[in-house]
Chain A
Amino acid sequence: AQSVTQLDSQVPVFEEAPVELRCNYSSSVSVYLFWYVQYPNQGLQLLLKYLSGSTLVESINGFEAEFNKSQTSFHLRKPSVHISDTAEYFCAVSDFSGGYNKLIFGAGTRLAVHP
């Protein structure tokens, strides 16, 4: 069975500092990986995804994630965070084992950006 581990439940960081949110996955088949962000009192929004091709994927708001097959990781990074990046971040891996699409989510990492 596929699984996702987010190693940090909370990450506090100062504004304009770099940040890395860690994600490791367990999968025996080809993987498709996602990062979602959830702002307070909202649903999950897709931040970026890795389906194939370049192992480095970027979002429109400065986040990037790198697919590392040998490390089975898909860590999320941003070189300089803003207060507005405060949110919960979920890593997910696709699962098609039942003949239909579903996502397996990690437990989430709460990013708190302080002034």
Chain B
Amino acid sequence: ETGVTQTPRHLVMGMTNKKSLKCEQHLGHNAMYWYKQSAKKPLELMFVYSLEERVENNSVPSRFSPECPNSSHLFLHLHTLQPEDSALYLCASSPAGTALAYEQYFGPGTRLTVT
């Protein structure tokens, strides 16, 4: 596989379920990002990991819990979500600490529906 992959592509979950979103990058990057894209709202940056350290947490509710076990993998653990959490969740990666750091590569996203 090449680029940035995300699984699953679609997820329907109840408000009491626990699920995880997975992102994997095959680009040799060492910074990874989670974004939330809701209908008719701008892209929201949720979390940033740089060199496997979480460097940004944008006031995201604790029902979203990120994990970055290594520079190639990023997870978003979900529990007791609300219907307003339904959205497209996008993962991205970029190099860190170089002039190429400013360009991010995105995965196809996971379409999450909370019922």
Tell me how far the C-beta of A109 lies from the nearest C-beta in chain B, rounded to whole angstroms.
12
B101 at the binding interface (Cβ < 8 Å): yes
Cβ of B103 and Cβ of A49 under 8 Å apart? Answer: yes
Q: Which residue of chain B has the shortest Cβ distance to A9 in the bound complex?
A: B40
Task: Give the number of residues in B that approach A within 8 Å (Cβ atoms).
Answer: 27
- Chain A residue contacts of B96, Cβ below 8 A: 100-101
* Residue ID in chain B nearest A107 by CB atoms: B42
Contact B31 A46 (CB under 8 A): no
Number of interface residues of A (CB under 8 A): 24
Inter-chain contact A44/B90, CB cutoff 8 Å: yes
Chain B 20-43 interface 0/1 with A at a Cβ cutoff of 8 Å (1 = within):
000000000001010000000111
Residues of A within 8 A of B55 (CB): 98-100
**Which among B41, B42, B48, B90 is the interface contact of A102 at CB below 8 angstroms?**
B48
Picked from B42, B45, B102, B106, the residue with its CB within 8 Å of the CB of A32 is B102
Question: Could you tell me if B33 and A102 are in contact, using CB atoms closer than 8 angstroms?
Answer: yes
> Which residues of chain A from 49 to 94 have any CB-CB distance to chain B below 8 Å in the complex?
49, 51, 90, 94
Kindly report which residue of chain A lies nearest to residue B31, judged by CB atoms: A101
B100 CB to closest chain A CB, in angstroms? 9
A85 → chain B, closest Cβ, in Å?
19
- Whether the pair B106, A44 counts as a contact (CB closer than 8 A) is yes
B17 within 8 A of A: no
Known contacts A100-B96, A102-B48, A103-B102, A43 near B109 by CB under 8 Å: yes
A26 interface hit (Cβ, 8 Å): no
The listed residue with most B CB atoms (<10 A of its CB), out of A41, A44, A96, is: A44
Known: A42-B108, A98-B55. A105 touches B42 (CB 8 A): yes
**4 new A-B contacts at CB < 8 Å, known A32-B102, A43-B106, A46-B105:** A43-B6, A44-B90, A100-B31, A101-B96
